[in-house]
Amino acid sequence: MSIDPAADLPFFYGSISRVKAEDYLKLGGMSDGLFLLRQCLRSLGGYVLSIVWNLEFHHYSIEKQLNGTYCLIGGKPHCGPAELCEFYSKDRDGLVCLLKKPCLRPSDTQIELGVFDSLKDNMLREYVKQTWNLEGEAMEQAIISQAPQLEKLIATTAHEKLPWYHGKIARHESERRLYCGAQPDGKFLVRDREESGTFALSMLYGKTVYHYQILQDKSGKYFMPEGTKFDTVWQLVEYLKMKPDGLMTILREACLNGKAVEKTPSLPATRRAGANGYTPPPRAVAGASTPVDTVPAERDILPMDCSGFNPYHNPNEVKKFNIQRSQLLMDEVELGSGNFGCVKKGVLKTQDSGQIDVAIKVLKSENEKLVKEEMMREAEIMYQLDNPFIVRILGLCNAENLMLVMEMASAGPLNKFLSANKDTVSVENIVNMMHQVSMGMKYLEGKNFVHRDLAARNVLLVNLQFAKISDFGLSKALGADNNYYKARTAGKWPLKWYAPECINFHKFSSKSDVWSFGVTMWEAFSYGGKPYKKMKGPEVIRFIDAGNRMDCPAACPERMYDLMKECWTYKHEERPDFNKVEESMRLYHYSVSGKAKPEGAAAAAEPVK
C-alpha cells in the first residue's frame, strides 16, 4: 500500500532500534562518515540518521514537516529523505561530519516494518470500511487511489472511530463508566476535557480511576508529561499499550463507548453525521446536479463521498439484464449525442436502492439491426466490468427504443470540464483524476480488454475528485491467448489518439491504449486542449513517424510529461504497460498530494461554480 519514501534507499533499514543500528554500523566497519537511515518510532513519517565519527555513534532525528518536507532539527528543509542525505553528503551544515559512506543493508535483510506501519494500514482499512461501508476490491481501490488523503484523515480523526474514545464526557461520568462491569488494571478510556479542548486519559488501577491530561505541544504533538511525543492520539494510545511511559501500568482493556457496544459497524453513508452529531451543510460540486452531502467542510470530497446511490460501490444489487420500461423515467435533458442516437438523463426506480440518477443511451429508432447489435456488444462488454473507475452499466431496456442504462457521471466529459474550470482545478487534482483513469485502465488490461477509444472526451466525471472511463463502443475482449485485436478494415477512427501500430497494421492492444492514455494525459494537463492543434490525421502520422511528439503543456509537471513521452514510445514492445503507468501515476500522485497546496490552487478546495 503506501510506500515509504525511503524504501528505495539501500541504506534504509526501516523500523530498527538504536542498538540494532549501531550493530549494523559496527559490522559496516566504523569508518568516519559511515551512515544509515532508519524509521523514527515516534513521529509519523520521520526518520533517524545514524552516523559514525571517531568510533562513536551519533543519531539525528529527521522530522517530516506539515508541508511534507523533511529536515534535521534546526536544519534546512528537503523534499525527501534521499535528497536530504544527498545534501548532507556535500554539506556538513552542523552534522558531526559529512555523510561519506552508506552502510548498505545486507542482501538477505528486508526493511523492518514498524508497529505503526501495519497499524496504520489496519486503521486505514477500518476507517474506510466504517465511513463508506466499503469492502473487498472496492475498498482496496479506494485505498490505492486516495492513500495520502486517507492517511491525513485517519491521522487527525481516527480516535473518534475507536471504541475507547468517549467524546466529551465529564470526569465523574468517565469514572462511572470505568467502574461499570469488571475492573481490571489498565482498563481505560480517552475523553475530551470539558473546558480546554484537550484530551484526558482515564484509567483503572487497583480499583481506582486515575486521570491523566494528554498534553499537546506547539506543533500539535501529543504526549504524557515527560513522555514520548506522537502525531496523533491513537498512536500515543497504541504506544501506551506497550510502554507505561509514566503511567501506573500499560493500557490494556478498552472501556467501550456506547457505539462500540451497539455493534453497528457503520451508519448508512447517506445519513452519516460528523463526530459530534452535526451534519454539515451540503457542498456544491461543479457541474454535479446532486450535491454531495455529509462531507465535513474542512476537507475535500473523496470519490467515496456520495449521497444516496453511491457510484463508488459495486452496484450489483441494481444490475439487471432487463430493465422494465416502467422502472425508467426519462428526462428531456440530453447529456450528449452521437451517430447511434443520444444520451439522456433519467431516473431508475429500484426496490432496494430507491431512485438512482442514470444516463440512458437511446438508440435512434430508425437504426437498423447492425447498429442494434453494436450496442448489444457494448453492453455485453460493460457487463463484464466492475471497477469504481469505469462507468457501470445497470441494464438494458428494450422498449420504444433500445436503451442502455448506465450510472450517471453528472460532471460530464473531462475535456469540457477542465476547459470550463481552468482557474479553479489544480494540477494535483488532475494528477489524482488521471491516476484514477490509470487504475481503471490497469483493471481493463488485467481483464484482457482493449478500450480503443480512450480520450478525455470519454473520461466522465462524477465530481471534481472522481473520474470514470466510459464509451466502450469500440472496445474488444481479447481471447485468452491473444494480446491484440486485429481490425479487418479501418473505420472512423480517432487517429490522433492511436498508436502507430493501430494505424499501420490495425493492431490494437493494451499497449496501444497506453499510447491513447498519453494523449489523454496531454489533454488533461492542457485543461482540455485539442491535441496536435489543427493538424489532420495523416499529418499527425507523418509528425509521429518523423520522431516528433507534442510539447509539454504549460501547467504540466515535468514528471508527468516524461510519463506521456514514455506512453508515446514508438515500438509497442518497448512501451510501458498499465501496470507500470499506474505505478508511475500513483507515486507522483502520492508525492504531490501529501504536500501543502501551492498558492492559488487553494481555491480548488472550495466549491466550484
Interaction site with ligand ADP (CB under 6 A): 335-336, 338, 343, 359, 391, 406, 408-409, 412-413, 457-458, 460, 470-471, 473
Binder to Mg ion among 43, 458, 463, 465 (CB under 5 A)?
Answer: 458
From 99-107, 237-245, 468-476, 536-544, give the range in contact with Mg ion by CB under 5 A: 468-476
**Strand 70-72's sheet: what is its strand order?**
70-72, 56-64, 47-53, 34-39, 101-102
Note if 577 is an active site residue: no
Let me know: does 589 contact 432? Beta carbons within 8 Å: yes
Taking residue 74's Cβ as centre, other Cβ atoms within 10 Å add up to: 7
Min separation Cβ 412 and ligand ADP, Å: 5
Nearer to ligand ADP, 45 or 388 (CB): 388
Nearer to Mg ion, 134 or 433 (CB): 433
Nearer to Mg ion, 22 or 471 (CB): 471
Q: Which residue is nearest to Mg ion (CB)?
A: 471
From 40-48, 151-159, 186-194, 467-475, give the range in contact with Mg ion by CB under 5 A: 467-475
From 98-106, 300-308, 455-463, 599-607, give the range in contact with Mg ion by CB under 5 A: 455-463
Q: Which does 418 bind (CB under 5 to 8 A by kind): ligand ADP, Mg ion, none?
A: none
Nearer to ligand ADP, 209 or 454 (CB): 454
Min separation Cβ 202 and Mg ion, Å: 60
Which residue has cell 489518439?
Answer: 497
Task: Print the binding letters for residues 138-167 with Mg ion: x by CB under 5 A, - otherwise.
Answer: ------------------------------
Q: Which does 359 bind (CB under 5 to 8 A by kind): Mg ion, ligand ADP, none?
A: ligand ADP
d(CA 470, CA 444): 12
Min separation Cβ 471 and ligand ADP, Å: 3
Min separation Cβ 258 and ligand ADP, Å: 42
Nearest C-alpha neighbor of 455 from the set 411, 526, 516: 516
Min separation Cβ 463 and ligand ADP, Å: 12
Let me know: does 255 contact 237? Beta carbons within 8 Å: no
Identify the bridge partners of residue 202 per DSSP, sorted by sequence position: 189, 211
Q: Which does 413 bind (CB under 5 to 8 A by kind): ligand ADP, Mg ion, none?
A: ligand ADP
Q: Which does 564 bind (CB under 5 to 8 A by kind): Mg ion, ligand ADP, none?
A: none
Q: Which does 440 bind (CB under 5 to 8 A by kind): Mg ion, ligand ADP, none?
A: none
**Strand 188-192's sheet: what is its strand order?**
165-168, 188-192, 199-205, 208-216, 222-223
Three-state DSSP state, 228:
coil
Q: Which does 149 bind (CB under 5 to 8 A by kind): Mg ion, ligand ADP, none?
A: none
Min separation Cβ 457 and Mg ion, Å: 5
d(CA 57, CA 24): 11
Task: Print the binding letters for residues 401-440 with Mg ion: x by CB under 5 A, - otherwise.
Answer: ----------------------------------------
Three-state DSSP state, 269:
helix
Phi, psi dihedrals of residue 532, rounded to the nearest 5°: 55, 30
Min separation Cβ 379 and ligand ADP, Å: 12
Nearer to ligand ADP, 42 or 345 (CB): 345
Nearest C-alpha neighbor of 484 from the set 446, 454, 505, 510: 510
Length of the chain: 609
Nearer to Mg ion, 72 or 469 (CB): 469
Nearer to ligand ADP, 82 or 420 (CB): 420
Q: Which does 75 bind (CB under 5 to 8 A by kind): ligand ADP, Mg ion, none?
A: none
d(CA 272, CA 87): 47
Let me know: does 581 contact 435? Beta carbons within 8 Å: no
CA R_g for the chain: 28
Let me know: does 203 contact 186? Beta carbons within 8 Å: yes
Is residue 471 within the footprint of Mg ion (CB under 5 A)?
Answer: yes
Min separation Cβ 406 and ligand ADP, Å: 4
Min separation Cβ 453 and ligand ADP, Å: 7
Nearer to ligand ADP, 357 or 501 (CB): 357
Min separation Cβ 408 and Mg ion, Å: 15
Q: Which does 388 bind (CB under 5 to 8 A by kind): Mg ion, ligand ADP, none?
A: none
Let me know: does 35 contact 51? Beta carbons within 8 Å: yes
Nearer to ligand ADP, 157 or 327 (CB): 327
Nearest C-alpha neighbor of 449 from the set 578, 343, 584, 320: 578
From 55-63, 204-212, 469-477, 542-550, give the range in contact with Mg ion by CB under 5 A: 469-477
Nearest C-alpha neighbor of 241 from the set 230, 233, 253, 229: 253
Cell of 311: 457510484
Three-state DSSP state, 213:
strand
Nearer to Mg ion, 151 or 471 (CB): 471
Instruction: Given the residues 453, 481, 562, 577, select the one marked as catalytic.
Output: 453
d(CA 56, CA 195): 49
d(CA 522, CA 93): 42
Q: Which does 315 bind (CB under 5 to 8 A by kind): Mg ion, ligand ADP, none?
A: none
Count of residues in contact with Mg ion, rule CB under 5 A: 2
Strands (E) located in 350-484? 355-363, 393-398, 402-407, 412-413, 449-450, 459-463, 466-469, 476-477
d(CA 67, CA 592): 10
Q: What is the 3-state secondary structure (H, E, C) of 384-398?
A: CCCCCCECCEEEEEE
Active-site positions read 453
Give residues in contact with Mg ion (CB under 5 A): 458, 471
